[in-house]
Amino acid sequence: MANEVCFSTIDKKIPWSLQTYREQGGYDVWQRVLKQKTKPDEIIAEVKASNLRGRGGAGFPTGLKWSFMPRSAPGQKFVVCNSDEGEPGTCKDRDILRFNPHAIIEGMAIAGYTLGATLGYNYIRGEFWEPYERFEAALAEARAAGLLGRNILGSGVDFELHSHLGGGAYICGEETALLESIEGKKGQPRFKPPFPASYGLFGRPTTINNTESFASIPYILRNGGPWFAKLGKPNNGGTKLFSVSGHVNKPGNFEVAMGTPFSELLALAGGVRDGHKLKAVIPGGSSTPVMPADVIMDCTMDYDSLAKAGSMLGAGSVIVMDDSTCMVRALARMSHFYYEESCGQCTPCREGTGWLARVIHRIEHGHGKNEDLDLLDDVADKIQGRTICGLGDAAAMPVASFIKHFRAEFQYHIDHKKCMVGGV
Amino acid sequence: MVTIEIDGIELKVNNGSMLIEAADEAGIRIPRFCYHKKLSIAANCRMCLVEVEKAAKPLPACATPVTEGMKVHTRSPKALAAQKSVMEFLLINHPLDCPICDQGGECELQDVAMGYGGDVSKYAEKKRVVREKDIGPLIATDMTRCIHCTRCVRFGDEIAGLRELGATGRGEHMEIGTYISKAVSSEMSGNVIDVCPVGALTSKPFRYSARAWEMRQYESIAPHDCIGSNIYLHTRRGRVMRVVPRENEAVNETWISDRDRYSYEGLYSADRLTVPMMNVDGEWRETEWDTALEAAVSGLKDVVDHSGAPQLGALIGPSTTLEEMYQVQKILRGLGSDNIEHRLRQRDFSDQDAAPAFPWLGTPLAALETANAILLVGSDIRREQPIAGHRVRKAHVAGAAVFAVNPVDYDFNFALEHKLVVDPRRMTSALAAIARHLVTITGATNPAGLDKLVQSPEYDTAARAIAERLRQAGRSTLLLGASAINHQNFAAIRMLSALIAELSGSTLGYLSDGANGSGAWIAGAVPHRGPGAQAVQTSGKNLAQMQGSGMAGMLLVNCEPDLDLAEPQSTMQMLKKAEFVVALSSYKSPALLNSASVLLPITPFSEMPGTFVNAEGRWQSFEPAVAPMGEARPGWKILRVMGNLFDLSGFDYMSAVEIRDELQKLVGDVAKDNSLAWRAPEAGQIDGGTLVSISDIPIYSVDALVRRAPALQKAQKLLGPGFRISAALARKIGLKDSQEVKVKQGDREARIAVEIDDRVPESCVWIHADISDASKLGAGYAPIVLEKA
Ligand SMILES: Cc1cc2nc3c(=O)[nH]c(=O)nc-3n(C[C@H](O)[C@H](O)[C@H](O)COP(=O)(O)O)c2cc1C
Ligand code: SF4
Ligand code: FES
- For residues B161 and A16, give the distance between their C-alpha atoms in angstroms, rounded to a whole number: 48
- For residues B113 and B87, give the distance between their C-alpha atoms in angstroms, rounded to a whole number: 7
- Reported as a single tens digit per residue, the pLDDT across A393-405 is 999 999 999 999 9
- Closest ligand relative to B48 C-alpha: 3
- For residues A258 and A1, give the distance between their C-alpha atoms in angstroms, rounded to a whole number: 10
Query: Is the confidence at residue B86, as pLDDT, over 70?
Result: yes
Secondary structure of residue B574 in the 3-state scheme:
helix
DSSP structure class, residue B101? -
- For residues B59 and B4, give the distance between their C-alpha atoms in angstroms, rounded to a whole number: 15
Q: What is the whole-number distance in angstroms between the Cα of residue A57 and the centre of ligand 1? A: 6
Candidates A345, A374, A376: best to mutate against B (most CBs of B within 10 A) is A345
User: b vs e for B495-531, b when ≥16 Cβ sit within 10 Å of the residue's Cβ?
Assistant: bbbbbbbbbbebbbbbbbbbbbbbbbbbbbbbbbbbb
For A263, B428, B434, B706, B716, the CA distances from B710, given in Å and listed in that order, are 77, 39, 43, 8, 10
Q: Which residues pair with A383 in a beta bridge?
A: none
**A343 vs B82, B166, B170: nearest CB:** B170
Split at pLDDT 50, 70, 90, the class of B777 is low
Strands B553-557 and B312-316 turn out to be: parallel
The verdict on the CB of residue B18 being under 6 Å from ligand 3 is no
- Reported as a single tens digit per residue, the pLDDT across A343-382 is 999 999 999 999 999 999 999 999 999 999 999 999 999 9
Strands A239-246 and A252-257 turn out to be: antiparallel
- For residues A105 and A83, give the distance between their C-alpha atoms in angstroms, rounded to a whole number: 12
Split at pLDDT 50, 70, 90, the class of B770 is low
**Closest residue CA from atom 8 of ligand 2:** A343
Query: Is the confidence at residue A174, as pLDDT, over 50?
Result: yes
- For residues B534 and B310, give the distance between their C-alpha atoms in angstroms, rounded to a whole number: 20
Half-sphere exposure (Cβ direction) of B323: Cα atoms closer than 13 Å: 26
Query: Is the confidence at residue B767, as pLDDT, over 80?
Result: yes
Q: Which residues pair with B83 in a beta bridge?
A: none
The verdict on the CB of residue B31 being under 6 Å from ligand 3 is no
The sign of the CA dihedral B575, B576, B578, B582 is positive
Query: Is the confidence at residue B246, as pLDDT, over 80?
Result: yes
Query: Is the confidence at residue B325, as pLDDT, over 60?
Result: yes
**B89 vs A339, A352, A362: nearest CB:** A352
| pLDDT for res A151 | 97
The sign of the CA dihedral B202, B207, B213, B219 is negative
Residue from A146, A148, A150, A144 nearest A122 by CA: A148
Chain A residue closest to B57 (CA)? Answer: A385
More confident residue, B191 or B789: B191
| pLDDT for res B720 | 75
Query: Is the confidence at residue B771, as pLDDT, over 70?
Result: no
Question: How many Å lie between the alpha carbon of B402 and the closest alpha carbon of chain A?
Answer: 24
Q: Are A83 and A125 in contact (CB under 8 A)?
A: yes
Angle, helix A211-223 to helix A92-99, in steps of 10 degrees: 60
Q: What residue spans of A147-203 are helical by DSSP H?
A: 175-182
C-beta atoms of B171 and A350 within 8 A: yes
Q: Are B686 and B488 in contact (CB under 8 A)?
A: yes
Q: What is the whole-number distance in angstroms between the Cα of residue B20 and the centre of ligand 3? A: 9
Q: What is the whole-number distance in angstroms between the Cα of residue A173 and the centre of ligand 1? A: 5
The model's pTM is 0.94
Question: How many Å lie between the alpha carbon of B46 and the closest alpha carbon of chain A?
Answer: 7
- Closest ligand relative to B33 C-alpha: 3
- For residues B763 and B756, give the distance between their C-alpha atoms in angstroms, rounded to a whole number: 13
- Reported as a single tens digit per residue, the pLDDT across B134-150 is 999 999 999 999 999 99
Q: Is B172 on the interface with A (CB under 8 A)?
A: yes
Q: How large is the average pLDDT for residues A306-317?
A: 96
Q: How large is the average pLDDT for residues B277-296?
A: 96
Contact residues for A141 (Cβ-Cβ < 8 A; gap 6+)? A17, A18, A102
Q: How large is the average pLDDT for residues B219-234?
A: 98
Residue from B263, B257, B235 nearest B587 by CA: B263
Please list every residue in chain B whose beta carbon sits closer than 8 Å to the beta carbon of residue A355.
89, 92, 123, 125
The overall average pLDDT reported for chain B is 94
Chain B residue closest to A358 (CA)? Answer: B125
Split at pLDDT 50, 70, 90, the class of B224 is very high
Contact residues for B668 (Cβ-Cβ < 8 A; gap 6+)? B532
Question: How many Å lie between the alpha carbon of B730 and the closest alpha carbon of chain A?
Answer: 38
Q: How large is the average pLDDT for residues B171-181?
A: 88
Query: Is the confidence at residue B326, as pLDDT, over 60?
Result: yes
For A285, A318, B357, the CA distances from A321, given in Å and listed in that order, are 13, 10, 87
Chain B residue closest to A388 (CA)? Answer: B44
Secondary structure of residue B439 in the 3-state scheme:
helix
| pLDDT for res A424 | 42
Contact residues for B548 (Cβ-Cβ < 8 A; gap 6+)? none
Please list every residue in chain A whose beta carbon sits closer than 8 Å to the beta carbon of residue B45.
346-347
- Reported as a single tens digit per residue, the pLDDT across A141-159 is 999 999 999 999 999 999 9
Residue from A58, A55, A74, A157 nearest A114 by CA: A157
Q: How large is the average pLDDT for residues B266-273?
A: 98
Residue from B65, B76, B75 nearest B13 by CA: B65
For A39, A45, A69, A147, A310, the CA distances from A42, given in Å and listed in that order, are 5, 5, 15, 22, 36
The verdict on the CB of residue A368 being under 6 Å from ligand 2 is no
**Closest residue CA from atom 6 of ligand 1:** A173
Secondary structure of residue A312 in the 3-state scheme:
coil
The verdict on the CB of residue B59 being under 6 Å from ligand 3 is no
Torsions phi, psi for A82 (to 5 deg): -95, 95
The overall average pLDDT reported for chain A is 96
Chain B residue closest to A345 (CA)? Answer: B44
3-state secondary structure A13-60: CCCCCHHHHHHCCCCHHHHHHHHHCCCHHHHHHHHHHCCCECCCCCCC
> Which H/E stretch holds residue A102?
helix A101-115
Q: How large is the average pLDDT for residues B629-644?
A: 98
**Amino acid identity of B448?**
A
Torsions phi, psi for B258 (to 5 deg): -60, -35
Chain B residue closest to A371 (CA)? Answer: B122
The ipTM estimated for the assembled molecules is: 0.93
Q: Are B22 and B74 in contact (CB under 8 A)?
A: no
Cis omega (within 30 of 0) on the bond before A251? no
DSSP structure class, residue B253? B
Secondary structure of residue B525 in the 3-state scheme:
coil
Q: How large is the average pLDDT for residues A291-311?
A: 97
- Reported as a single tens digit per residue, the pLDDT across B393-422 is 999 999 999 999 999 999 999 999 999 999
Q: Are B146 and B175 in contact (CB under 8 A)?
A: yes
C-beta atoms of B122 and A386 within 8 A: no
| pLDDT for res B688 | 57
Please list every residue in chain A whose beta carbon sits closer than 8 Å to the beta carbon of residue B47.
347
Question: How many Å lie between the alpha carbon of B547 and the closest alpha carbon of chain A?
Answer: 58
E strands along A274-383, which residues?
A: 278-282, 291-292, 300-301, 317-322
Query: Is the confidence at residue B383, as pLDDT, over 90?
Result: yes
Residue from B362, B351, B348 nearest B486 by CA: B348
- Composition of chain B by helix, strand, coil, percent to 5: 35, 20, 45
Secondary structure of residue B501 in the 3-state scheme:
helix
